Amino acid sequence: MSESIKTASIHAHHLMRASLSLFEKCFDELTDEEKWLARQEAQKSSEIEALILASPEAAGVIITPEMLDQTMAEVQSRYDGRKAFKQDLKRNGLKIKDLRHALERELMVEAVLEKVAASAPTASDADIRAWYDRHPQKFQRPETRTVRHILITINEDIPENQRETALATINDIHAKCNGASDQFQNLALIHSECPSALEGGLLGRVPRGKLYTALDKALFNMDEGTTSPVLETETGFHILYCEKIHPSDIVGYDEAAPQIKQAMDKKLRQKSQTLWLSALMKNQQVSQGHSCPTSEHLRQDAL
């Protein structure tokens, strides 16, 4: 592939990405103003990509054929068959070999960014503790309830699930409930038409607002170890079992610390990447009038 053809295919790929990212449309579906914006974005992202790949940190970065094959397969899986995949490429002025080349560059950019991020410092225990102490409101955990569930669906096309039959079935099941968790689990396993039946109807520990309105209202008015009356929603008839009430509380430091550390380390990695790119851009103007992009912007451009 000649350098001019490579350059054209890289630009076509960036243009396709920019059109989808900015407007969720193909380039040929854009208005004139949208096309101008897409071209600007594509130019900027392709120049940033070239700058990263020309950096000293890119030396020695290798993308294996297996990695590229996997990425190609992931992209193709988004389409309804290989024909649709090839038609979309053609529509965007690309061939399969062009896409492979563009994806290889994207994977290399990601690898370089990860290489840069690997040298970033990590959050100390003192930093994590200080952040936890400064933000107590973020660790207020609302009341939740562990709930089990039995569902009989309504479907007028299936005789045993027509409304009257389904109602009779759920009423019969409800009559067998005696308030014991073990018995409810067995009834759910035998009768429930919800996937949770395999786990004895367990929906897990839920906060307010997660379930259908009728189920949510009933659950948060139940006592622990009690069974609801038969309830109806758009999916069918339900019975709930409130297995345990978990009062509102504060997430302790030991439980919160790993999540805080993960978030702080991510910011430190992003800062390291942004500072690194800023240093590169001091020696080469990437796009006149554009400020230095953030690390998240880089990742959107790169992948």
- CATH code: domain of residue 297: 1.10.4030
What six digits make up the tokens of 79? 């389409």
Q: Is the pLDDT of residue 1 over 80?
A: no
Task: Record the pTM.
Answer: 0.67
What sign for the dihedral angle of Cα 174, 176, 181, 183?
negative
Note whether residue 256 is domain-resident: no
| Position 68 in a domain | yes
- Average pLDDT (184-207) is 96
Q: Are 15 and 29 in contact (CB under 8 A)?
A: no
The whole-angstrom separation of Cα 147 and Cα 145 is 6
Q: Give the chain's domain count.
A: 2
**Mean per-residue pLDDT, 248-270:** 96
Is pLDDT of 108 > 70? yes
Phi then psi for residue 95, to 5 deg, are -110, 170
Exposed, middle or buried, 258 (CB in 10 Å: 0-12/13-18/19+)? exposed
- Residue 129, domain member (yes or no): no
pLDDT tier for residue 9 given thresholds of 50, 70 and 90: confident
In a domain, 56, yes or no: yes
2: confidence class by pLDDT, cuts 50, 70, 90: low
Q: What burial class does residue 212 get, using C-beta atoms within 10 Å of its C-beta: 0-12 exposed, 13-18 middle, 19+ buried?
A: middle
Same domain as 243, residue 270: no
> Is the same domain home to 106 and 171?
no
Residue type, 190: I
Supply the pLDDT for residue 76. Answer: 94
**Whether residues 103 and 24 fall in one domain:** yes
Same domain, 57 and 205: no
Based on the fold, state whether residues 84 and 117 are members of the same structural domain: yes
Q: Is residue 153 part of a domain?
A: yes
User: How far is it, in rounded angstroms, from Cα 182 to Cα 187?
Assistant: 9
pLDDT of 282 higher than 50: yes
The gap from C-alpha 55 to its chain's centroid, in whole angstroms, comes to 31
If asked whether residues 113 and 156 sit together in one domain, one would say no
- The mean pLDDT of 70-89, rounded to a whole number, is 93
154 and 107 assigned to the same domain: no
Q: 133-178: per-residue pLDDT in tens?
A: 999 999 999 999 999 999 999 999 998 899 999 999 999 999 999 9
Q: Give residue-wise pLDDT tens across range 222-256.
A: 999 999 999 999 999 999 999 999 999 999 999 99
Q: Is residue 222 part of a domain?
A: yes
pLDDT given for residue 116 in this prediction: 96
Q: What angle (nearest 5°) sits at the alpha carbon of residue 199, between those of residues 210 and 169?
A: 80
For the cut 90, the answer to whether the pLDDT of residue 130 exceeds it is yes
Q: Which residues sit opposite 242 in a β-bridge? A: 147, 226
105 bridge partner residues: none
Residue 193 identity:
E
Q: What is the mean pLDDT of residues 123-132?
A: 97
Residues 265 and 118 in one domain: yes
Q: What is the CATH number of the domain that holds 218?
A: 3.10.50.40
Q: Is residue 255 part of a domain?
A: no
Helix-, strand-, coil-residue percentages of the chain, each rounded to 5: 60, 10, 25
pLDDT beyond 80 at 303: no
Residue 252 lies in a domain: no
Q: Are residues 115 and 19 part of one domain?
A: yes
Domain that holds residue 287: 3-122+261-302
